[in-house]
Amino acid sequence: FAEKSRRHTVADGERSLIGSPSRHSAAGGDLLDQDAPTPVFIYVLAFFSALGGLLFGYDTGVVSGAMLLLKKEMNLNALWQELLVSSTVGAAALSALGGGFLNGWLGRRICILVSSLVFSIGGIILSIAPDKVVLLVGRITVGLGIGIASMTVPVYIAEVSPPHLRGQLVTINSLFITGGQFIASVVDGAFSYFEPRWYMLGLSTLPAVLQFFGFLFLPESPRWLLQKGRSQEARQVLSQIRGNQSIDEEYDAIRTNIEEEEKEAGGGGFIILRILGHGPTRRALIVGCGLQMFQQLSGINTVMYYSATILQMAGVRDDKQAIWLAAATSATNFVFTLVGVWLVGETLVILLIVSTAGTGFSLTLLAVGFLLSAQNSPPITLHPVDLQNSTCRQYESCEFCMLDPNCGFCYRENGTSVYDSSCVPVNQLSTDHAAWGRCSNQTEATDSPIWAYNYCPTSYSWVVLMGLILYLAFFAPGMGPMPWTVNSEIYPLWARSTGNACSAGVNWIFNVLVSLTFLHVAEFLTYYGAFFMYTGLVVLGLLFVQGCLPETQGLQLEDIENLFTGQLCSCGGSSPNGNRHVHYIRVKGNNYLPSDNDASDVE
């Protein structure tokens, strides 16, 4: 029955809607003819919307490489570096939360226009910034743009896409995010040869302007228009984006659903309070926010941000070389997101489970690599007289020296063995040198000692490197894009803006929390402790996905809310044979789980 099921529309309000397992089995089959060619216009819409993802990726990605160069040029101390990095993410958290209201009030299209305008202004400020204060203003401005884009774009794409392409098209936004991060890392590499370097921060103006002008000509989401009672426009847009296909049934289904939803959830009042008071939507919100939280708790942005350090541990000493290798890291993230776009059409839940389990395994490997390095950390053999009486004198091995942000490890090496090693204070103006002594004035001469800040020489770097690559290969197709994709589709229309605002806000808040605390966590727990901790958090994430996430692939947006009518976190248990696809039939607003017996009644 499940395999043969087709969505069947009866009359005004009286419908049978049956979700089916994969894109091959025609969810929405009668509403839209899947065999008809998909109009190119949908791809144009997805492309211009996903430029928002590109800007999100570029602006969050460019800063780590830029900082390596800018800190020298503008004499930035640690506080300023932290401010310039996290102000963008902090501003994104605020504007994502506020974006929910704008999204519901002004519509998706206006919000995308606003975000591209804000991005353009931010980009111009960054390009002409004469000093660090103006740079900070620019970084906050682009952050405001990122927040709105991050919650609006997936919703817009989901609302204009035909059901069988929705997962893939929304995931393209995530592909653009990792693509933006990759372009940023290449730009970082290229700009390390040019001056002045802060232009690289302003380059994002180009796609922002392109998106702004593109969206002047692109339509509003038909679902939002219908919700606002602008039915004529909604009909027009729907026929524009569906090409030659008949839109009557899809139009009716959306309209009836909006009416039913409004009746069920009751109108008026603050939407967030209505969400919290309405069981299925509250459960969807918990699932959406949970996925976003676990995405960030898996430490993706520490891996991205500290990949240069990890690569240094693997033996790369040159700044420029580290920047280029960090580009290879973000290329891995990008390429494997492409795998996600390809696989999302199959089954989202299994993709997410395999991705989360693999991410956990890779984190364990990273932790073991760091543990082996720590256990074999080179001892400190020289204890030069320290006139400043710094904390660095007390350490007996490189491991503890490197975990103290005030100290670095100065050593010589012979093949793989380390000798003449000392732990000395770092130069507060540039972490590239020691404050005094042999490593304070580094020359490129072969016999000059080596200065290691934030890392230790180790022969287990290959374990760490393997962990890093495996981490990205597992994270990028599932845990990276899916929280965004799932959130774009699990809320009923009246709660969609607010639901996405909350979950995007949770993503950004945990992003700030994890990346700002990483070095402190490492100081208390050591690197391997920190990565074991992330492993533990990912295991919790795995239990959450396994227990709470229902399959949404191929369902009409209007049906997905039905998946949350049961108890939270019983979804996994409802399918003992491992088939997690829940098939609902809606008849006059009631939901039934069909069995073989009642299928014939409905058909």
Ligand X SMILES: O[C@H]1[C@H](O)[C@@H](O)[C@H](O)[C@@H](O)[C@H]1O
Question: Which contacts of 424-431 are long-range, i.e. CB under 8 A and separated by 24 or more positions?
Answer: 424/384, 424/386, 424/390, 424/392, 425/386, 425/388, 425/390, 425/392, 426/453, 428/77, 429/75, 429/77, 430/71, 430/72
DSSP one-letter string for 135-179? HHHHHHHHHHHHHHHHHHHHHHHHHHS-HHHHHHHHHHHHHHHHH
| 247 SS3 class | coil
Using CB under 6 A, pick the residue from 16, 301, 526, 552 that binds ligand X. 301
Using CB under 6 A, pick the residue from 46, 146, 275, 304 that binds ligand X. 304
Q: In 298-421, where does DSSP find H-type helix?
A: 300-305, 307-313, 319-343, 348-375, 398-403
C-beta closer to ligand X: residue 338 or 587: 338
C-beta closer to ligand X: residue 88 or 295: 295
User: What is the C-alpha separation between 455 and 381, in angstroms, rounded?
Assistant: 17
Tokens representing 77 are 């101390």
Binding to ligand X, residues 162-191 (CB under 6 A): 174, 177-178, 181
16, β-bridge pairs: 8
By CB under 6 A, is residue 90 in contact with ligand X? no
CA distances from 59 to 14, 150, 210 (A): 48, 12, 16
Using CB under 6 A, pick the residue from 480, 505, 554, 572 that binds ligand X. 480
C-beta closer to ligand X: residue 54 or 258: 54
User: What is the C-alpha separation between 461 and 310, in angstroms, rounded?
Assistant: 8
By CB under 6 A, is residue 488 in contact with ligand X? no
By CB under 6 A, is residue 507 in contact with ligand X? yes
By CB under 6 A, is residue 152 in contact with ligand X? no
The amino acid that residue 489 corresponds to is: E
C-beta closer to ligand X: residue 182 or 494: 182
Q: Is the CB of residue 477 less than 8 Å from the CB of residue 368? A: no
By CB under 6 A, is residue 514 in contact with ligand X? no
Buried/exposed code over 503-518 (b: 16+ C-beta within 10 A; e: otherwise)? bbbbbbbbbbebbeeb
User: What is the C-alpha separation between 449 and 169, in angstroms, rounded?
Assistant: 53
Residue 74 CB, shortest distance to ligand X, in Å, is 25
Residue 177 CB, shortest distance to ligand X, in Å, is 5
CA distances from 97 to 149, 241, 499 (A): 11, 29, 10
Residue 550 CB, shortest distance to ligand X, in Å, is 21
C-beta closer to ligand X: residue 374 or 501: 501
User: What is the C-alpha separation between 34 and 460, in angstroms, rounded?
Assistant: 52
C-beta closer to ligand X: residue 437 or 477: 477
Per-position x/- string for 37-76, each x denoting binding to ligand X as judged by CB under 6 A, each - no binding = ----------------------------------------
| 570 SS3 class | coil
Residue 96 CB, shortest distance to ligand X, in Å, is 11
Piece in contact with ligand X (CB under 6 A), picked from 30-38, 480-488, 515-523, 575-583: 480-488
Per-position x/- string for 110-139, each x denoting binding to ligand X as judged by CB under 6 A, each - no binding = ------------------------------
Residue 64 CB, shortest distance to ligand X, in Å, is 11
By CB under 6 A, is residue 377 in contact with ligand X? no
Per-position x/- string for 317-356, each x denoting binding to ligand X as judged by CB under 6 A, each - no binding = ----------------x-----------------------
Residue 178 CB, shortest distance to ligand X, in Å, is 5
How far is Cα of residue 362 from the mean position of the Cα atoms in its chain? Answer: 18
C-beta closer to ligand X: residue 181 or 377: 181
Residue 109 CB, shortest distance to ligand X, in Å, is 23
By CB under 6 A, is residue 25 in contact with ligand X? no
DSSP one-letter string for 77-108? -HHHHHHHHHHHHHHHHHHHHHHHHHHHHH-H
Residue 473 CB, shortest distance to ligand X, in Å, is 13
* Nearest-5° Cα angle at 249, 244 to 254: 110
Q: In 457-566, where does DSSP find H-type helix?
A: 461-475, 482-489, 493-548, 557-560
User: CB-hemisphere CA count at 13 Å for 380?
Assistant: 22
Residue 317 CB, shortest distance to ligand X, in Å, is 26
Binding to ligand X, residues 261-300 (CB under 6 A): 295, 300
Residue 511 CB, shortest distance to ligand X, in Å, is 5
Chain residue at closest Cβ approach to ligand X: 480
Residue 349 CB, shortest distance to ligand X, in Å, is 18
By CB under 6 A, is residue 203 in contact with ligand X? no
Percent composition of the chain: helix, strand, coil (DSSP 3-state, to 5):
65, 5, 30
By CB under 6 A, is residue 515 in contact with ligand X? no
C-beta closer to ligand X: residue 174 or 546: 174
C-beta closer to ligand X: residue 181 or 421: 181
SS3 per residue for 391-434: HHHHCCEHHHHHHCCCEEEEEEEECCEEEEEEEEEECCCCCCCE
C-beta closer to ligand X: residue 304 or 582: 304
Per-position x/- string for 530-549, each x denoting binding to ligand X as judged by CB under 6 A, each - no binding = --------------------
User: What is the C-alpha separation between 48 and 153, in angstroms, rounded?
Assistant: 10
Residue 68 CB, shortest distance to ligand X, in Å, is 18
Residue 333 CB, shortest distance to ligand X, in Å, is 6
Residues engaged in binding ligand X (CB under 6 A): 174, 177-178, 181, 295, 300-301, 304, 333, 480-481, 484, 507, 511
